[in-house]
């Protein structure tokens, strides 16, 4: 086995964190997070998402910049996990990165969000809400994967 390959044991022991291209992780995180600004904008899925959630279509008065801390943090965690899988699987080009992002998005984000949507009876259209959210994460992780594939 070539010495540059990272094994599953490396991922489990987290030793590869020092070997990651952190600039790639940060840029991929920002791209994934920024996609949300477009995805949830009124001209895209924003109005449908708000209706599905049962929200008034006017922005809340008390929503400050702090509301974006948790989504940014979750984009970072998902991107970091994807970067670790990319390193462990020797993902090293844009197409492999996109495929990895799609696998993580469809294999992890979509099922988790749809389970929540299935049992969330508080929303007028929980499956529409879930579909829009899952779609964002699938596309966002594919975008992050493409960036990581280029730079890892």
- Write the pLDDT tens digit of every residue in 92-139: 999 999 999 999 999 999 999 999 999 998 999 999 999 999 999 999
Residue 52 has pLDDT above 80, yes or no: yes
The proportion of the chain whose per-residue pLDDT surpasses 90, expressed as a percent, equals 76
Q: How confident is the model at residue 3 (pLDDT cuts 50, 70, 90)?
A: very low
Q: How confident is the model at residue 55 (pLDDT cuts 50, 70, 90)?
A: confident
Of the candidates 133, 138, 142, the one whose C-alpha atom is nearest the C-alpha of residue 45 is 133
- Give the pLDDT score at 2: 45
Residue 61 has pLDDT above 90, yes or no: no
More confident residue, 88 or 75: 75
The whole-angstrom separation of Cα 48 and Cα 71 is 19
Of the candidates 71, 80, 66, the one whose C-alpha atom is nearest the C-alpha of residue 36 is 71
The Cα-based distances of 133 to 24, 92, 106, 139, 140 in angstroms read 24, 28, 12, 10, 10
More confident residue, 6 or 123: 123
Write the DSSP assignment of 65-99 as a string of letters: GGGGHHHHHHHHHHHHHHHHHHHHTT--SHHHHHH
Alpha carbon 80 to its chain's center: 10
């Amino acid at each position: 086995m070539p010495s540059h390959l990272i094994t599953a044991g490396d991922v489990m022991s987290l030793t590869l964190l020092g070997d990651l291209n952190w600039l790639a992780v940060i840029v991929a995180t920002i791209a994934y997070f920024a996609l949300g600004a477009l995805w949830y904008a009124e001209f895209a899925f924003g109005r449908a998402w708000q209706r599905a959630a049962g929200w008034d279509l006017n922005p809340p008065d008390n929503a400050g910049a702090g509301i974006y801390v948790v989504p940014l943090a979750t984009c970072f965690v998902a991107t970091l996990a994807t970067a670790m899988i990319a390193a462990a699987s020797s993902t090293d080009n844009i197409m492999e990165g996109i495929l990895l992002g799609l696998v993580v998005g469809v294999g992890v984000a979509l099922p988790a969000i749809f389970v929540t949507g299935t049992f969330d009876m508080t929303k007028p259209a929980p499956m529409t809400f879930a579909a829009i959210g899952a779609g964002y994460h699938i596309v966002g992780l594919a975008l992050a994967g493409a960036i990581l594939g280029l730079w890892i």
